[in-house]
């Protein structure tokens, strides 16, 4: 079944959100992803439940993203937790502690479980574990791209000895396994409460943030959907082959493990000259057999200065037409 979804964030007044959910449904979208930040967790607990209910009232399936949580997931949101729990944060290879939670911190994992309990109480249909990874230095004010994490004591304990000062193959495997173990615990926690999980992996199979073994993620007990987001401009790649490559990878990996495949295309940061690439990306994903397609985000993020372009309205019309046409085609055939 073809599905089309869109992320939505920045509005916490339910009547305005409800209006926008009606707009999504009228355009043909079948799902929405709401961001649930630490700020929402602290101050908008009931409000977010109202927004989920408004989304369901318009017939939209709802995913919940841990937006910027602990600076270990994707999203332009800050983390209060890392300011309060500095001893639980990641340590760079040069010994500096940075404002991002360590994936091997039991305390941080407990915080993520508590966050998941809350979003499930809000009534979401799936928890969307978005781009789980060790911190990117630029996100915490470190401009040196050679820096990496984590060399904290808890990582050393799990590693079985001091963390090497350079990224050895053994250490790379440990870092990847730490990400997978982190996800295993969270996905199992959601499943034990009757919830559903999507894991969205970065479109990288190597490098400091990449996961080489997508099968290990797809095989996590309780996982419902494996997703990826090949945003070609961010990775300085050509749109059509890059999206096709990762559409094929996520499709094949998901199929081997009996889970659903989902792919995201960007609508933020694009201008009119990028529209042919956007249309080619959507077509490539469908040609590779991925029918659950989403975009980030609502109205091409025209409301957010750092993500908008002067052409955001045109991009929004284009991506909505491209994604929702696939849903309309399926409805028409049935």
pLDDT tens column, 253-295: 999 999 999 999 999 999 999 999 999 999 999 999 999 999 9
Q: Which long-range contacts (CB under 8 A, 24 or more apart) does 121-125 make?
A: 121/49, 122/36, 122/45, 122/48, 122/49, 122/52, 122/64, 123/49, 123/52, 123/53, 123/56, 123/62, 124/34, 124/52, 124/62, 124/63, 124/64, 124/195, 125/61, 125/62, 125/63, 125/196
Between CA 101 and CA 91 the distance in angstroms is 9
- Check if the beta carbon of residue 145 is closer than 8 Å to that of residue 100: no
Least confident window among 52-66, 111-125, 196-210:
196-210
pLDDT digits (tens, 9 = 90+) for 163-191: 999 999 999 999 999 999 999 999 999 99
Between CA 281 and CA 57 the distance in angstroms is 31
Report residue 207's pLDDT band, with 50, 70 and 90 as the boundaries. Answer: confident
Q: Which of the pair, 87 or 143, is modelled with greater confidence?
A: 87
Report residue 13's pLDDT band, with 50, 70 and 90 as the boundaries. Answer: very high
- What is the assigned CATH class of domain 3-75+109-135+169-333? alpha beta
Beta strands in the chain (DSSP E): 3-8, 31-35, 61-65, 89-91, 97-101, 126-130, 197-201, 223-228, 260-266, 292-296
Cβ-count burial of 270 within 10 angstroms (0-12 exposed, 13-18 middle, 19+ buried)? buried
Q: What pLDDT does 138 receive?
A: 82
Report residue 137's pLDDT band, with 50, 70 and 90 as the boundaries. Answer: confident
Q: What percent of the chain has pLDDT over 70?
A: 98
2: helix, strand or coil: coil
Looking at residues 107-116, what average pLDDT do you find?
Answer: 98
Q: What percent of the chain has pLDDT over 90?
A: 92
Report residue 208's pLDDT band, with 50, 70 and 90 as the boundaries. Answer: confident
Between CA 322 and CA 211 the distance in angstroms is 30
Report residue 146's pLDDT band, with 50, 70 and 90 as the boundaries. Answer: confident
Q: For residue 253, how many C-alpha atoms fall within 13 Å in the half-sphere facing its CB?
A: 29
Q: What pLDDT does 331 receive?
A: 45
Q: What pLDDT does 333 receive?
A: 42
CA 18 from centre of chain: 23
Mean pLDDT, rounded, of the chain: 96
pLDDT digits (tens, 9 = 90+) for 114-126: 999 999 999 999 9
Question: Is 50 exceeded by the pLDDT of residue 11?
Answer: yes
Q: What pLDDT does 108 receive?
A: 98
- Check if the beta carbon of residue 226 is closer than 8 Å to that of residue 214: yes
128 phi and psi, to 5 degrees?
-105, 100
213 phi and psi, to 5 degrees?
-105, 85
Q: What pLDDT does 144 receive?
A: 85
Between CA 261 and CA 250 the distance in angstroms is 6
pLDDT digits (tens, 9 = 90+) for 307-322: 999 999 999 999 999 9
Question: Is 50 exceeded by the pLDDT of residue 153?
Answer: yes
Q: What pLDDT does 149 receive?
A: 95
Between CA 69 and CA 34 the distance in angstroms is 14
User: What are the Cα distances from residue 255, in Å, to 111, 218, 221?
Assistant: 32, 9, 15
310: helix, strand or coil: coil
Q: What pLDDT does 328 receive?
A: 61
Q: What pLDDT does 142 receive?
A: 87
pLDDT digits (tens, 9 = 90+) for 215-252: 999 999 999 999 999 999 999 999 999 999 999 999 99
Q: What pLDDT does 306 receive?
A: 96
The Cα diameter of the chain in Å comes to 61
Q: What pLDDT does 329 receive?
A: 59
Q: What pLDDT does 136 receive?
A: 85
Between CA 168 and CA 88 the distance in angstroms is 24
Report residue 58's pLDDT band, with 50, 70 and 90 as the boundaries. Answer: very high
């Amino acid at each position: 079944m073809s599905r089309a979804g869109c992320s939505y964030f920045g509005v916490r007044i339910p009547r305005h959100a409800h209006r926008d959910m009606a707009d999504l449904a009228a355009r043909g979208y079948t799902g929405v992803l709401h961001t649930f930040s630490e700020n929402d967790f602290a101050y908008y607990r009931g409000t977010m439940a109202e927004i989920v209910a408004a989304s369901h009232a318009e017939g939209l399936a709802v995913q919940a993203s841990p937006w910027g949580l602990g600076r270990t997931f994707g999203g332009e949101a800050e983390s209060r937790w890392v300011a309060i729990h500095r001893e639980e944060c990641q340590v760079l290879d040069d010994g500096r502690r940075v404002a991002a939670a360590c994936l091997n911190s039991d305390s941080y994992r407990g915080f993520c479980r508590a966050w998941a309990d809350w979003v499930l109480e809000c009534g979401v249909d799936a928890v969307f574990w978005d781009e789980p990874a060790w911190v990117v230095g630029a996100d915490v004010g470190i401009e040196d791209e050679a820096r990496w994490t984590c060399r904290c004591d808890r990582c050393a304990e799990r590693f079985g000895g001091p963390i090497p000062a350079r990224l050895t193959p053994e250490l790379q495997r440990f870092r990847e396994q730490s990400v997978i173990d982190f996800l295993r615990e969270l996905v199992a926690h959601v499943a034990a409460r009757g919830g559903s999980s999507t894991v969205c992996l970065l479109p990288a199979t190597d490098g400091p943030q990449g996961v080489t073994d997508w099968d290990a993620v797809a095989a996590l007990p309780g996982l419902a959907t494996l997703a990826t987001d090949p945003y070609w401009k961010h990775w300085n790649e050509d749109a059509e082959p890059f999206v096709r490559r990762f559409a094929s990878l996520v499709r094949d990996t998901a199929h081997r493990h009996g889970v659903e495949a989902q792919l995201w295309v960007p609508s933020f940061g694009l201008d009119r000259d990028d529209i042919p690439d956007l249309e080619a990306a959507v077509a490539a994903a469908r040609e590779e057999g991925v029918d659950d397609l989403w975009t980030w985000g609502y109205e091409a993020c025209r409301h957010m200065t750092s993500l908008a372009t002067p052409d955001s309205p045109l991009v929004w019309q284009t991506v909505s037409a491209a994604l929702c046409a696939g849903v309309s085609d399926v409805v028409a055939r049935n």
